[in-house]
Amino acid sequence: MSVVTLLTDFGEKDAYVAEMKGVILGIVEDVRIVDISHKVTPYSIDEGAFLLLTAVPYFPEGTVHVAVVDPGVGTDRRGIIVETEVCTLVGPDNGLLIPAAKRCGSFNVFEITNREYMLSSKTHTFHGRDVFASVAGYLAKGVDAEEMGRRIEDYVEERFFILEEMTEETMVRVLHVDRFGNIVTNLKGDAVLKQVKYGDRIKVSINGKEYVMPFLKSYGFTGRGEFLLTVGGTGFLEVAVNQGSAAKSLDVEVGGTFTLFL
């Protein structure tokens, strides 16, 4: 059985996600469709790329991943297929797919050009259904990416950078705020662990205010309602509040930046 995943900023109010699933099921019946998330911050390519990057390694080899965070839909931006050593990714050519592709090893990128593999009723505003879901269905059915388009080298690179090193003064970017209000940054946990140990305190400058927060193994090692820094399940540094929302407390949103001082 083939596996197809979906990641979008469509939310759950409308029928958009169901329509994408319907297209896939109409092409290949023997498929399992898994929702990664449909609550990406609207238009946030960086957050979508981050969530895809963190989820992809946990799926079986051969999975087809469809990701749609596409503020440029209907313009001259291209649709692409990215073939990696272990999976295939489908979505817009806006940097959304590339971080996950790089995590999977070497890859090739194809521009989707063959209309035979798109819905005949293709619209200008819903390529997630009319192009990407349709292409994913055919990929899951066994059609080669080369049948759907031409190989390209000038694809759009990723829009955010993963920080692999922590210095005395490190500016980090907010890539994601999870359901609990934990602020997930682009700083790798390994980089932090090379510079500090659990129990150390780090100065954090956010929105013009300074805080001193402990670096801890997990949320429960500090009191309820207290700030902490930790390496979350994604492997990246987080700012958190034990049983509270760091994002609300600090007025931080996806795309924001703040600075850490050793």
CA Rg, the chain, in Å? 20
Write down the pLDDT at residue 74.
Answer: 86
CA 225 centroid distance within chain = 28
Q: Which residues contact 105 (CB under 8 A, 6 or more apart)?
A: 84, 85, 86
Digits of tens for pLDDT over the chain (262 positions)? 899 999 999 999 999 999 999 999 999 999 999 999 999 999 999 999 999 999 999 999 999 999 999 999 989 899 999 999 999 999 999 999 999 999 999 999 999 999 999 998 888 889 999 999 999 999 999 999 999 999 999 999 977 789 999 999 999 999 999 999 999 999 999 999 999 999 999 999 999 999 999 999 999 999 999 999 999 999 999 999 999 999 999 999 999 999 999 9
Spell out the domain ranges in the chain: 2-152, 169-261
Superfamily of domain 169-261: Bacterial fluorinating enzyme like (2.40.30.90)
Torsion of CA 187, 190, 196, 200, to 10 degrees: 70
Write down the pLDDT at residue 159.
Answer: 75
In contact, 145 and 114? CB cutoff 8 Å? no
CA distance 77 to 67: 15
CA distance 128 to 92: 9
Residue 176's closest CA among 194, 162, 165? Answer: 162
Write down the pLDDT at residue 15.
Answer: 97
CA distance 146 to 139: 11
In contact, 100 and 58? CB cutoff 8 Å? no
Using DSSP's 3-state secondary structure scheme, residue 218 falls into: coil
CA 173 centroid distance within chain = 14
Residue pointed to by tokens 């349709």:
134
Amino acid, single-letter form, for residue 251: D
Write down the pLDDT at residue 158.
Answer: 79
Which alpha helices (DSSP H) does 28-144 contain, by range?
Answer: 45-55, 98-103, 127, 134-141
Q: What is the distance in angstroms between the CA of the first residue and the CA of the last residue of the chain?
A: 50
CATH code for 2-152?
A: 3.40.50.10790
